[in-house]
Amino acid sequence: MNKMALHWQILLGMALGIAIGLAGTYVSWGTSFISDWIKPFGQIFINLLKLIAVPLVFISLSKGILDLKDLSTLSKIGGRAILYFILTTVFAVLLGLVLVNIFEPGAHVNPDTLTMLTNDIQSSASGKLDKPAGLKGPLDFLVKMVPQNIIEAAGTNSNMLQVIFFTVFFSISLLLLPSDKQVPLKNLFDSLNDVLIKMVDLIMLFAPIAVLALMASLITETTNAELFVALLGYALVLILGMIILLCFYAFLIKFFTPMPVGKFLKGIFPAQLVALTTSSSMATLPITMECVEDNLGVDKEITSFVCPVGATVNMDATSLMQAIASVFICQVMGHALGITDFFTIILTASLASIGAAAAPSAGIVMLIMVLESVGFPSENLPVALAMILAVDRPLDMGRTVVNISGDSCVSVLVAKSLGKL
């Protein structure tokens, strides 16, 4: 008998969590029982995700940069690839912010629901209002990206930008060393990356139980249907964003390469199907490389470089999701965002997608970092992530399809720019 797929387990856990939560509202002791004996399993899941956030960013990003082999390769193929990766990633984040602010899927939850969702949201908000902005000048934001102490910066997920800065600095410095000096650390990072991806896999095995616990506690805190309508709105906005991203890739192929759009879409379709079922860019990588090389005619030298690096650092749909999800959560929870916060989301979501492991649901780990970077109250994370996890698995399948499509698009663009297409 075949084992039930993880995404079906998560959906089943969500359904059971809703049922248990609704049942708990009909008995006097139900709410306290769920809070004391069920909700903690959801909180443990959140803690596990936060636990691996810093090492996941450091190892995955380091490995992605070290896969560039050397700086001469970076200047030739890597420079073009990274430029395209950055442009498509920033476009995805900006697209997400535009869509979520136009449709505002989480802005119509009434104050009574907000009160039930959190006990002290007002005190958290007022505490932040009492604090000055802290910006001493136009470049102070850049100053704060450079850590004084990497150990201290790695001690809290809210300082992840500083961790990313150190990681990039460290990795480029390592690339400047003689190749024989690089090998031990490269081998170590390869092994650590495998371990961290396995940790994500193991944590996600706990996801069905965690979603059950988080959904049950969410139901006991609020039975207002507005929250679920808002959640449906979030999913639809994200799906719209992913469709626009796919159209954006087709636009780039049509106007910047000689390749027909039909050939591009037909050529990567087998990889898209694998991505849909695995929800992992890395698991899909062999098929992606085969499709790009054989079906699209991209030179093997480019394919063997751009696709593996892209599977690690190019997560356009993950960036889109983090932008939409972070603002959606803040809309639902009544956490006000200013211009500086939106700028922070653009930078953090763009850089976080580079550090997202090419494994199922790794973007959820990065979402925690994005939320904490804009001052979202840590005590409200369980409720916030319960909402996102409830619909994340099917959306994660779609995000992987978009991510590998972006890698394929960049491979074609790089090949065209080097005259090898």
Tens of pLDDT, residues 169-225: 898 888 888 888 888 998 998 899 888 878 877 887 887 888 788 778 877 765 556
The answer on pLDDT for 128 being more than 60 is no
The answer on pLDDT for 51 being more than 90 is no
Lowest mean pLDDT among 99-103, 286-290, 392-396: 392-396
What mean pLDDT is predicted for residues 115-130? 41
Residue-level pLDDT at 397: 79
Q: For 138-177, how does the pLDDT look when each residue is reduced to its tens digit (9 = 90+)?
A: 466 577 778 888 888 888 666 666 887 888 789 888 888 8
Which of 301, 261, 303 minimizes the C-alpha distance to 285?
Answer: 303
The answer on pLDDT for 135 being more than 50 is no
The class (CATH top level) of 6-417 is mainly alpha
Lowest mean pLDDT among 1-5, 157-161, 220-224, 403-407: 220-224
Which of 145, 69, 130, 105 minimizes the C-alpha distance to 306?
Answer: 69
Residue-level pLDDT at 69: 63
Q: How does 135-144 read in b/e, with b if 16+ C-beta sit within 10 Å?
A: eeeeeeeeee
What mean pLDDT is predicted for residues 4-12? 74
Q: How does 269-299 read in b/e, with b if 16+ C-beta sit within 10 Å?
A: eebbebbeebbbbbbbbebbbebbbebbebb
Model-wide pTM > 0.85: no
The amino acid present at 218, given as its one-letter code, is: L
Distance from C-alpha of 160 to C-alpha of 370, rounded to nearest angstrom: 9
Q: For 72-104, how does the pLDDT look when each residue is reduced to its tens digit (9 = 90+)?
A: 766 778 788 888 998 999 999 999 999 999 998
Contacts of residue 63, defined as CB under 8 A and 6 or more positions apart, other chains included, come to 189, 190, 193, 312
